[in-house]
Amino acid sequence: MRQALKLTSAGVGAFALYKAQSSSAPQPKCLAAKRDGVLAFGAAPAGAVGGPFGNPAHDWDYYQKCMVGGILSCGLTHLAVTPLDVTKCRMQTQPELYKGISQGFSLVSKDGALFLGWLPTLLGYSAQGFFKFGFYEIFKDLYSSWVGAEAAYNYRTYVYLTASASAEVIADVALAPFEAVKVRIQTSLPSANFPTSFFPAFSKVAEKGTGEFFKGIYPLWGRQVPYTMVKFSCFEKTVEAFYTYVFTNPKSSYSKTTNLSITFASGYIAGVLCAVVSQPADTLVSKLNQSPGAALGEVIAKAGGIGGLYKGLGMRIIMVGTLTGLQWWIYDAFKTATGIVAAAPVKK
Backbone angles phi, psi at 339, to 5 degrees: 85, 15
Residue 1, pLDDT > 60, answer no
Alpha-carbon distance of 6 to 68, in angstroms, equals 25
What DSSP element (H or E) covers 4? Answer: helix 2-22
Q: For the residues of 162-193, what is the DSSP string, one character each?
A: HHHHHHHHHHHHHHHHHHHHHHHHHH--GGGT
pLDDT value of position 341 = 66
Residue ranges of domains in the chain, CATH in brackets: 59-337 (1.50.40.10)
Give residue-wise pLDDT tens across range 126-137: 999 999 999 999
pLDDT range class, residue 74, cuts 50, 70, 90: very high
pLDDT value of position 15 = 46
Which amino acid belongs to residue 258? T
Residue 25, pLDDT > 50, answer no
Give residue-wise pLDDT tens across range 282-328: 777 777 766 666 676 776 777 677 767 777 788 778 878 888 999 99
pLDDT value of position 346 = 52
pLDDT value of position 282 = 75
Return the C-alpha torsion angle 250, 74, 273, 290, nearest 10: 180
Range with lowest mean pLDDT among 31-35, 135-139, 238-242, 298-302: 31-35
Helix, strand, coil percentages (3-state) for the chain, rounded to 5, are 75, 5, 25
Residue 18, pLDDT > 50, answer no
pLDDT value of position 223 = 82
Alpha-carbon distance of 73 to 78, in angstroms, equals 9
Task: Name 42's bridge partners.
Answer: 31
Give residue-wise pLDDT tens across range 160-171: 999 999 999 999
Sign of dihedral through CA atoms 315, 317, 322, 323? positive
Alpha-carbon distance of 139 to 163, in angstroms, equals 5
Task: Name 32's bridge partners.
Answer: 41
What's the whole-model pTM score?
A: 0.77
What DSSP element (H or E) covers 107? Answer: helix 101-110
For residue 65, the tally of other CB atoms under 10 A from its CB is 18
* Residue 36 or 51, more confident: 51
Please give the span between the terminal C-alpha atoms of the chain, in angstroms, as a whole number. Answer: 44
